[in-house]
Each structure stands twice: as C-alpha cells, then as structure tokens.
C-alpha cells in the first residue's frame, strides 16, 4: 500500500514523459548554480533515488517511461546562474512545473524557475504542465527559451503579472502555435521597467491561437507583437 508521503511526493512532482519509443537520457545541467537536491522515480513506482548534485547529471530515460522529479529547493536559479533540464529524445512535460521548488508548493523566491527548460529542443508538448497561480519576480524568465519543437505551451493561470515574470519565456520557440494566458492586466506595463512579457513570444510560429482571460482589461489589438499577442495569431477568450 502506498504511503501518504509517497502519494504526496508523486502529486507534487515534475514529470518528464518519453514519447519517442526509444531509450534516451535526461540531463540536469548546471550553469554556475549552487547544488540542488531532489528525489526521482520511474512511472510513479515510488522507488525513489535521492541525489544532491553540484555538476551536470544524466539520468536514463527508457522508452515509453516517465520520470517523476521532486525536491525542496528554494530556487533553481539566481540572477545569473541556473539549472536547466533537457532530454535527447522526444518528450512531454506534466505534473507541477515547481516540482523542484519547495516540494511543488507555492514559490516564494525570485528567479525560481528561470531558464528551467532553456534549449530543450526535444520537448514537444507542455500543455499538461501545471504552472503557478502566484508569480515572483523573474520566476519564469527564459523558461522555454529555444525549445524549437515545442508546439503547445502550458496554461498560464496567474491573473497578475510581476517584474519580468514571463521575460523571453517562449523566445525562439519556432513551432509554438498555442498559448493560453489568464493575466487580466495588460502585458508589459507600457512606460515602466517591469517588462513582464518582454519579447516573450519573439520567434514563435507565424500562425496560432492565443487564448486570453474573459476578465482581461486590455485589448489584444493594442498589444500585438513580440511582447504581447503574436502577430498573425487568432485570439479567443477562455470561455468561448
């Protein structure tokens, strides 16, 4: 019988799903950041492996398997250092985006997930990934930057934006054609230094669908471009 603790860890894990039909590897890559600790298991079997790493770590990602990753780190990044995760075979993401942060609980630190999947060129779909409802400054900056195979972004449920929270979040995601974002105030506060969505959709697909909140106080027509709604995309509301 699965313990309550195991159930809790599984429910608060970041999950990487190998959809390629081939064996591969998952790399947790250090860019100058401090050591992080986490546990992982395969396919929710609760046979956890515990690690503390201060250098790049590669983990086997068997065909048609899922890795559950869970940790209690305050953040995976600072203003100039970060950890990033990528695989060498086609994969999707699900579970909690914050699975490595505070055990998947609410974020409190700046830069919490900055660049977390930066350059993950084999990531195809993040639509099942659960993103935080409360943001911190810089928390998702560059998070999917350079994920060139990503077609669907995760839903962004946060209704309020903070400083550079989505800064270059989907920069150079050339296959991306679907975003659902529930923030109600206008992106990028014009005339301010907040830059919440600065260049966040620069380089995405030329056609796609942007779904915005029905409670939004801004017009998509007034915020079209690389820091707002991608040019050429259809616009819908969440309840349409």
Q: What is the pLDDT of residue 107?
A: 83
Burial of 78 (0-12, 13-18, 19+ CB in 10 A): middle
pLDDT at 190: 62
The answer to the question of residue 118 being in a domain is no
126 lies in some domain: no
Q: Give the chain's radius of gyration (CA, Å).
A: 17
- Within a domain: 111: no
Q: Flag whether 237 is in a domain.
A: yes
Strand, coil or helix: what is 8? helix
What is this structure's pTM? Answer: 0.95
Q: Degrees (nearest 5) of the Cα angle 117, 75, 28?
A: 40
We report the CATH number of the domain holding residue 77 as 2.60.120
Query: Rounded to whole angstroms, what are the CA distances from 206 to 100, 221, 224, 238?
Result: 33, 16, 13, 21
User: What three-state secondary structure class fits 181?
Assistant: strand
Residue 81 lies in a domain: yes
* Count of structural domains, the chain: 2
Q: What's the domain range around 213?
A: 131-240
**10-residue stretch averages of pLDDT, the chain, 240 residues long:** 81 96 98 96 94 97 97 92 98 96 81 97 98 95 98 97 96 98 87 85 98 95 95 90
Residue 109 located in a structural domain:
no
Q: Are residues 140 and 80 in the same domain?
A: no
CA triplet 141, 171, 207: central angle to 5 degrees? 135
pLDDT of residue 192: 65
């Amino acid at each position: 019988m699965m313990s309550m603790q195991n159930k809790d860890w599984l429910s608060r894990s970041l999950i990487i799903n190998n959809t390629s039909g081939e064996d591969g590897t998952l790399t947790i890559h250090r860019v100058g950041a401090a050591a992080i600790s986490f546990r992982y298991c395969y396919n929710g079997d609760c046979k956890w492996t515990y690690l503390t790493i201060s250098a790049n770590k590669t983990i086997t990602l068997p065909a048609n398997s899922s890795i559950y990753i869970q940790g209690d780190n305050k953040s995976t990044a600072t203003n100039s250092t970060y950890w990033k995760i990528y695989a060498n075979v086609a994969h999707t993401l699900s579970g909690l985006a914050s699975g490595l942060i505070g055990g998947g609980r609410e974020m409190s630190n700046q830069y919490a997930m900055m660049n977390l999947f930066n350059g993950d060129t084999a990531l195809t779909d993040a639509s099942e990934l659960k993103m935080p409802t409360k943001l911190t400054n810089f928390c998702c900056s560059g998070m999917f930057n350079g994920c060139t195979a990503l077609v669907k972004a995760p839903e962004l449920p946060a209704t309020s934006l903070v400083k550079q929270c989505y800064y270059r979040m989907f920069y150079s995601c050339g296959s991306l054609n679907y975003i659902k974002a529930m923030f109600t105030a206008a992106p990028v506060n014009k005339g301010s230094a907040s830059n919440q969505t600065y260049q966040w959709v620069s380089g995405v697909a030329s056609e796609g669908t942007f779904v915005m909140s029905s409670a939004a106080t801004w017009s998509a027509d007034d915020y079209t471009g690389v820091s707002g709604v991608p040019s050429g995309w259809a616009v819908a509301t969440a309840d349409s």
